[in-house]
Amino acid sequence: MTILGIDIGGTGIKGAPVDTETGELCGERFRIPTPQPALPNPVADIVGQIAAHFNYQGPAGITFPGVIKKGVVFSAANVDESWMHTDAANLFTTHVGGPVQVVNDADAAGVAEMRFGAGKGRPGVVILLTLGTGIGSAIFLDGVLLPNSEFGHLKIRGKDAEKRASERVREEKGMSWKQWAKHFNEYLAELEYLFSPELFIIGGGASKKADKFLPHLTSKTEVMIVPAQMQNNAGIIGAAYLARPLAAE
């Protein structure tokens, strides 16, 4: 089954048709810069442009960087506040030409990794963290997702974790990977204490540079820490996979 997946990010909106049986892209990923400010209608216009680029009409899965409940946006930490309470599913449907499943971006990436990547077949508690503008999270128990976890807003020394340990913070402060890893290790230690996971999967844009930071990450209880395998395609793949039920409607 081929379904269009679209991943909305702070700097770019990208998409591709996905073979939901294999998790492989069925065409070269197409990316358009995210409009600034990223207001609902301009973002929806780009979603429509991506669908048109692939000459696609039908069910689609679309990620969004916020809490999503039944297609409606309930948080706007890293996007424009005008998104609050927007029925994103309905908005995007009018631009794609088919029913739309809207899902938190980190949840979509986590689903892709659990179905096709680093978490495939892993039992117990698995936590995926996406590093980029902020820190996204997805948590699974025996492969089942608990949606909208938002662990990037966990307080570390009085600040949201993503204000101390995101990829953007590392770049803005000019930290070396080793320096940044100290901040990220503190964050991992807190998650480890709270959830006792079997596995951490590190994804997002930073996953392409895993060799630079993974050797500096540590665990107090020997929790495995691995890079995401789907890298920057994870959101596209996971969103398309989660939209499969729409194809039967």
Question: How does strand 60-64 pair with strand 144-146?
Answer: unpaired
Give the DSSP H or E segment for 128. Answer: strand 125-131
113, amino acid identity: E
Task: Give the mean model confidence (pLDDT) for residues 25-43.
Answer: 94
pLDDT of residue 208: 83
Same domain membership, residue 219 and residue 238: no
Same domain membership, residue 135 and residue 225: yes
At 154, phi and psi to the nearest 5? Answer: -60, 135
Range of the domain at 25: 2-104+234-248
159, amino acid identity: K
Residue 111 lies in a domain: no
At 87-134, the pLDDT tens digits run 999 999 999 989 999 999 999 999 999 999 999 999 999 999 999 888
Task: Give the mean model confidence (pLDDT) for residues 196-207.
Answer: 91
72, amino acid identity: V
Task: Give the mean model confidence (pLDDT) for residues 8-28.
Answer: 94
Same domain membership, residue 52 and residue 10: yes
pLDDT of residue 249: 63
Same domain membership, residue 56 and residue 77: yes
Q: What is the mean pLDDT of the chain?
A: 93
CA 108 to chain CA centroid, nearest Å: 6
Residue 109 lies in a domain: no
Helix (H, G, I), strand (E, B) or coil at 60: strand
State how many domains the chain has.
2
CA 217 to chain CA centroid, nearest Å: 21
Q: Distance (Å, rounded) from C-alpha 46 to C-alpha 49?
A: 5
pLDDT of residue 88: 96
At 135-177, the pLDDT tens digits run 999 999 999 999 999 999 999 999 999 999 999 899 999 999 9
Q: Distance (Å, rounded) from C-alpha 198 to C-alpha 210?
A: 19
